[in-house]
Structure 1
Amino acid sequence: MKRIFGLGLFILMIGLLSACSDDNSSKEPASKPASEPATGSAGDDIFQKSCITCHSSGDITGGQVKLDSTKIHADFQKKEDLYSFVEKKMPKSAPGSLSKEQYEAVVIYLWDQKE
């Protein structure tokens, strides 16, 4: 009798714990919400999370390829040209995987870099 009661209690506890779980992975998108502001500081944060494994920029050190503003401005005449490149090609391991707002924030951050 104690064994059946214990098993029933165990099953009830498992059910309650699974109902209270914070695992919303099937309900939430994998990327950040589109409402993230496109600011330089947001671009800095996104750069550190998504770009740092391959690139360094400004005071941020990371990967082997250092991005400098002189080369960025020489290679891309307009901020829109840089955006188009970054959106289609970066991050190299998953091109196009960031939201439009995240790409905009990173481009603002990169474009405003001063060497």
Structure 2
Amino acid sequence: MAAEKNYKCSLGEAALQTAIAELNEDPKTRHIEIKTLRERLEKYPGLHARTDPEFLIRFLRARKFDQERSFKLAINYYMARYEDNEVFRGLKPFCVKHVFDSGYTTPLGIRDKQGGAVLVDKP
């Protein structure tokens, strides 16, 4: 069985309903969408992309399950990582801790409707 069929959606019921309504996500065809994107990325010359379902679904959700736009986003992601490899090499959360410690970017201390942290960049 392919990896995309083994994908287990971790969204809660409310988040899943939002994904269905706002992101065009269909639990019945999700595995097909993931497989299609994976196959397209595997055919791209010279690209060694992650193809696990948990990674690919990020691009699909970011572009409301539009295959062409999801594919372009993934290619742009890898192009940016390639072109700015000094920035991304070894990038770990502790490497950017100083940004949060500087006070330039700070959490508001409240959460959005979905429970996500709200960050503010100060001038």
**Which of structures 1 and 2 has the larger relative contact order (alpha carbons within 8 angstroms, sep 6+)?**
1
Tell me if both proteins adopt one fold, taking TM over 0.5 as the criterion: no
Kindly indicate which of the two structures has a greater share of residues assigned to helix. Answer: 2
Larger C-alpha radius of gyration, 1 or 2?
Answer: 1
Q: Which has the higher strand share?
A: 2
Scaled by the length of structure 1, the TM-score of the pair is 0.23
